[in-house]
């Protein structure tokens, strides 16, 4: 993405379709709660670029250590992201935020695009999604930028140690269910949050009221 767009239009469309197809497959199986996560190297760079463009926050503010970079490598990472954004979005932060699909095409990745397609497809069919770490939340932020009503179907499983993750959660308007000081994004936080979501649903739908339980009102 330093030299050309990360994906062609055809690549982007195919990746979005892969994610949308997974959401449709889950709906057909009657699944009502999905998790998105990823495993990769270098994709916190893509997520930081997406975060900076969508939120108009400085690159230095949203770019963390990733897999554990030393200060010199982290500074180089920031310089690369600055150059990438200057190449593809030289007026970002001055004019309106660029089209989110173009942001995804230029500085995203196939895994981020597939997760974006899944989130959009899940919301379209009324299926809730638990986003995990920084990269999957970058996908959620693209989906939200495309269609803000997606937020009603999103949970944030946890808040990553990556600084950009907090910025994206605030951008979407999500509060993390867990905060465990993790840098993981492979779905760990999302899966850990699922029993809490399920317990909350049980309490909401099945908890007895004072009247149904035959509990008399408290008296002073």
Helix 100-107 and helix 110-124, axial crossing angle in degrees, nearest 10: 150
Residue 4 domain-assigned (yes or no): no
Q: Which of 186, 198, 206, 217 is catalytic?
A: 186
Task: State the pLDDT at residue 180.
Answer: 85
Task: State the pLDDT at residue 176.
Answer: 96
Question: Can you read off the two tokens belonging to residue 90?
Answer: 């030289």
CB count in 10 Å sphere of residue 17: 14
Residues 6+ apart with CB under 8 A from 143: 116, 119, 120, 123, 150
Task: State the pLDDT at residue 185.
Answer: 81
Q: Which residues of the chain have pLDDT under 50?
A: 220
Write the CATH number for 21: 3.40.50.10210
Question: Can you read off the two tokens belonging to residue 212?
Answer: 């149904």
Residue 212 domain-assigned (yes or no): no
Residue 220 domain-assigned (yes or no): no
Task: State the pLDDT at residue 211.
Answer: 77
* Residue 170 bears catalytic tag: no
Residue 219 domain-assigned (yes or no): no
Residue 214 domain-assigned (yes or no): no
Contact 19, 114 (CB under 8 A): yes
Task: State the pLDDT at residue 94.
Answer: 58
Task: State the pLDDT at residue 184.
Answer: 78
CA atoms in the 13 A half-sphere facing the CB of 143: 32
- Give CA–CA dist 61/77, Å, rounded: 13
Structural domain containing residue 125: 9-206
CB count in 10 Å sphere of residue 177: 19
Question: Can you read off the two tokens belonging to residue 139?
Answer: 């996908």
Residue 109 domain-assigned (yes or no): yes
Q: How many domains does the chain have?
A: 1
Task: State the pLDDT at residue 208.
Answer: 80
Residue 124 domain-assigned (yes or no): yes
Task: State the pLDDT at residue 215.
Answer: 74
Task: State the pLDDT at residue 150.
Answer: 98
Residue 172 domain-assigned (yes or no): yes
Residue 92 DSSP code: B
- Per-residue pLDDT of 70-123, as tens digits, reads 999 999 999 999 999 999 998 765 557 789 999 999 999 999 999 999 999 999
């Amino acid at each position: 993405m330093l030299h050309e767009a990360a994906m062609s239009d055809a690549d982007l469309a195919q990746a979005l379709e892969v994610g949308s197809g997974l959401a449709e497959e889950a709906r057909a199986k009657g699944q009502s709660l999905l998790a998105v996560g990823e495993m990769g190297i270098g994709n916190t760079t893509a997520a930081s670029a997406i975060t900076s463009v969508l939120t108009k926050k400085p690159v230095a503010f949203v770019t963390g250590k990733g897999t554990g970079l030393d200060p010199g490598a982290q500074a180089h990472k920031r310089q690369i992201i600055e150059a990438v954004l200057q190449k593809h979005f030289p007026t970002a932060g001055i004019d309106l935020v660029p089209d989110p699909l173009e942001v995804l095409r230029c500085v995203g990745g196939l895994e981020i695009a597939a997760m974006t397609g899944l989130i959009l497809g899940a919301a379209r069919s009324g299926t809730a999604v638990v986003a995990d770490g920084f990269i999957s939340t970058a996908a959620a932020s693209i989906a939200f930028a495309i269609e803000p009503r997606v937020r009603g179907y999103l949970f944030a499983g946890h808040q990553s140690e990556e600084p950009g993750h907090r910025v994206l959660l605030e951008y979407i308007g999500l509060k993390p269910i867990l905060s465990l000081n993790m840098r993981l994004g492979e779905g760990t936080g999302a899966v850990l949050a699922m029993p809490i979501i399920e317990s909350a649903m049980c309490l909401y739908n099945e908890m007895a009221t004072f009247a149904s339980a035959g509990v008399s009102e408290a008296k002073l």
